Amino acid sequence: MSALTTGVADRIADLAALYQDLHEHPELSFQEKRTATIVAKRLTEAGFEVTTGVGGTGVVGVLRNGEGASVLLRADMDALPVREIEQVPYRSRATGVGPDGDVVPVMHACGHDTHVTALIGAAEQLAARRADWSGTVLAVFQPAEEIGAGARAMLDDGFLDRFPRYDVALGQHVISAPGGHLYVCPGVFMAAADSLRVTVFGRGGHGSAPQTTVDPIVIASAIVLRLQTIVSREIAATDVAVVTVGSLRAGSKENVIPAEAELKLNIRTFDPDVRLRVLAAVDRIVRAEAAAAGAPREPEITPLNEFPLLVNDEVAAERIIAAFTTAFGQDQVHRSGTKPASEDFGGFGSAAGVPSVFWNFGAFDGQLYADPAQPQLAVAAGAAPGNHSSQFVPNDVEPALRRAVEALLTAAGVWLNGRTRA
């Protein structure tokens, strides 16, 4: 492993400049054209066979280096509709057009800029040190992870037929945790997620005469409250589910009762049966509340996105934990628990029928975290920023990038060891 990572430190200043550029110029899901252009140029210069436009804006680089295993390394590229606060001189001032047609601020509030930078660094290092490994590397830069559509778009675009077969899929994600620390969870790691748009219909009218209307705001409010009983009264205490209403829009003036209201829901589960029960309960409650209010027509329930359950192959995860521990020390490597956040990375492994492993790395000042093994406690206490926050800007950038590059190389090196396929 030391041979693959030799010289990584010399790349960090260049990678930090690339990271700052990507951070300053974020792009929304399926709009990652500038990012994809930069990625394609760097991969081409490193000697990869490069294909652009995969699944929309995805980029795939292939580096063949003799006989051996084939390893897929993946980074996601998209940003979020979040307004960044003033913290760093390279903060984002970008805007974009969201899926609803609204102009929104854009920020890498989930750290995908660090993922892109780290994978470029690992790809360039692998190209420069071909004498130290054998096999094939697929560097996959995926669009639209934030909406759960990018991996599926790439697979639907013939990914498995267009690119070399791979033996393992590997990926990583930055989290609010001390820089240098790595977190791996064998088995079930991240939740399945379903997002829904619910439109309830009423009958609008003057605010002074509510008796002549069917108020969709009241219906929507009742739905919000009733949905909170699903987890507390319909899901067993031994099971896990989260139901969140993250958006409620209705009306435009205080004395006008509107004709409709829109809610956006997010559901997280770790068990397929629990997921089906929660979805059925949402459907039942939405329709029943509308009927109870005398709504003139049935509500519309539209899926927005869907993330599969992310399950790390246990044998492969244990191999990576062992490699990380040897390379970085036991105090830097932690066994993570399951997380209610979601990812579509697992689609690459399940579609190909091969093991996949996804891990987290930290990128923040270690003094923010009383217990590096449980960094989520500092986030919950407000001592450190969490993912999707306007404050989520790594403040330990260069060491974090170095560790992220080294982690990709170390994990890939478990398979890229010159032996024939496992």
Average predicted confidence (pLDDT) for the chain = 96
What's the pLDDT at 422?
A: 37
Whether residue 206 is annotated as binding a ligand: the answer is no
pTM of structure = 0.91
Q: Which residues, in sequence order, are CB contacts of 86 under 8 Å at separation 6+?
A: none
Evaluate if residue 418 carries a pLDDT over 90.
no
Residue 26, token pair as written in the block: 């974020």
Residue 17, token pair as written in the block: 């400049």
Give the tens place of pLDDT for each residue, 68-121: 999 999 999 999 999 999 999 999 999 999 988 999 999 999 999 999 999 999
Give the tens place of pLDDT for each residue, 270-325: 999 999 999 999 999 999 999 999 999 999 999 999 999 999 999 999 999 999 99
Element (H, E) at 274: helix 272-292
Whether residue 112 is annotated as binding a ligand: the answer is yes
Query: Which is more confidently placed, 123 or 1?
Result: 123
Task: For residue 146, give the nearest of 274, 299, 27, 247 by alpha carbon.
Answer: 27
Distance from C-alpha of 278 to C-alpha of 42, rounded to nearest angstrom: 45
* Cα–Cα separations (whole angstroms), residue 110 to 84, 255, 390: 12, 39, 9
What's the pLDDT at 100?
A: 82
Whether residue 185 is annotated as binding a ligand: the answer is no
Q: Which residues, in sequence order, are CB contacts of 18 under 8 Å at separation 6+?
A: 38, 42, 117, 120
Element (H, E) at 45: helix 33-46
What's the pLDDT at 107?
A: 98
Pick from 115-119, 162-166, 258-262, 396-400: least confident: 396-400
Whether residue 146 is annotated as binding a ligand: the answer is yes
Evaluate if residue 61 carries a pLDDT over 80.
yes
Banded pLDDT at 34 (limits 50, 70, 90): very high
CB-based contact 70:165 (threshold 8 Å): yes
Evaluate if residue 421 carries a pLDDT over 80.
no
Whether residue 173 is annotated as binding a ligand: the answer is yes
* Domains defined along the chain, listed by start: 2-189+309-413 (3.40.630.10), 192-306 (3.30.70.360)
Evaluate if residue 409 carries a pLDDT over 70.
yes
